[in-house]
Each structure stands twice: as C-alpha cells, then as structure tokens.
Amino acid sequence: MLSKQQILMFEKALLELVSAIVHQTISSKLMLFEFTQQLSTTNRKGLWKQIGVLINASQIEVHDYYFNTWSLQFYEDFNHYREEIKNIFQQVIIKTPDYKLAIQQSIQTFLKEFPDNKCNERKIYQMLYQYAKSNNKILEVKPSTKAQQQQSLTIFENYAFQKAVNTILQK
C-alpha cells in the first residue's frame, strides 16, 4: 500500500514517464490516463517498475494503485446500473452454465445496451463474480456431462425461482 508521500509523487512520476514515452506534452489528468491506457502491456509493465523506483515502492504496489484507485476517477460509477447488470447476468447464466463465460457475456450485453456508459469493466466483472459467488452458488466445478449441466441448470432455476418468490413475499 502506498504512503501519502508516495501517492503525491505517483502522479508526477506517471506524468513525466508517460510524456517521455509518447513524446508529447500532457496537459491534463484525462490526457495522462488516455495515453497510459494506450501504452502496450510491455510498456506499462516497465512503467510500473520505473515509477516504483522513483517513489520507492514495488511494481505491484504501483500497478495496484493505478488500477484500483487512481484510474477510477475517469470511470462512471456503475452502482446505478447494478440491478440492470445483475438482471442481464441472471438471464445469461441460464443459457451459459460456465460462470466465467456468463460474466463476460453479461458485460458485453450491458455494454451494447448502454453504449454511452463509462463504467470500468474490471469493476463490473468483480461485482458479478462476487454476486455469483455469494448469491447464486454457481461457482462449483463446471458440469462435464449433458445430464450434469441440465441438473445444474435446474438447481439454478429453482434457486432463482425461490429467490423471486421470497422477494414477492417480502413486499
């Protein structure tokens, strides 16, 4: 975890290094973010390491701070889409028992339905993963036979039905 001093130094180091890589003057945080996002994976890995040296932090700490904190200021909060995203996932998981694939398909469906949103896909993935893990009990081993897949689908449908009944009864 970065200290307050390291956090203050982070953005300055990021600005200097990205400006040097892209050979342009960067005049805003948004420009800095956009240029950083456009860097190749190799350049970004090297960037986290160089920033780490400059601010006396590990490459992992710098990487995590960038993705989990600093970059989030450029994304829209997806909380007001949370129920729509969950509804999409509930529809997709019935057709796609592989939860990882279902999460990816749900995100793609959401992006098609709400093309103007600026939500962080990684955060949506994390939210859906937690949702699937805690509410739907679907993160077990993927069924290998058609009969097992049908049984898993039936279990999920029964769970979804029971959840819907409970919701109605609570009203």
> Using one digit for the tens of pLDDT, what is the confidence trace for 4-20?
999 999 999 999 999 99
* SS3 category, 124: helix
Do 106 and 31 reside in the same domain of the chain? no
Locate 142 and state its tokens: 């993927």
| Domain that includes residue 82, residue range | 78-170
Question: Cα dist. 10→64, 133, 136 in Å?
Answer: 12, 35, 40
Do 46 and 129 reside in the same domain of the chain? no
| Amino acid at position 49, single letter | K
- Kindly report the number of other CB atoms within 10 A of residue 67's CB atom: 14
Do 96 and 146 reside in the same domain of the chain? yes
Do 65 and 90 reside in the same domain of the chain? no
pTM of the complete model = 0.68
Do 88 and 60 reside in the same domain of the chain? no
Residue-wise pLDDT tens digits, 19-66: 999 999 999 999 999 999 999 988 888 999 999 999 999 999 999 999
17/155 Cα distance (integer angstroms): 53
139/144 Cα distance (integer angstroms): 14
Do 91 and 147 reside in the same domain of the chain? yes
* SS3 category, 69: coil
Given 74, 106, 134, which residue is the final one in a domain?
A: 74
Residue-wise pLDDT tens digits, 96-116: 878 889 999 999 999 999 998
How many domains in the chain? 2
Given 54, 74, 94, which residue is the final one in a domain?
A: 74
Residue whose entry in the numeric block shows the structure tokens 């994304």: 75
Given 18, 51, 74, which residue is the final one in a domain?
A: 74
Do 53 and 111 reside in the same domain of the chain? no
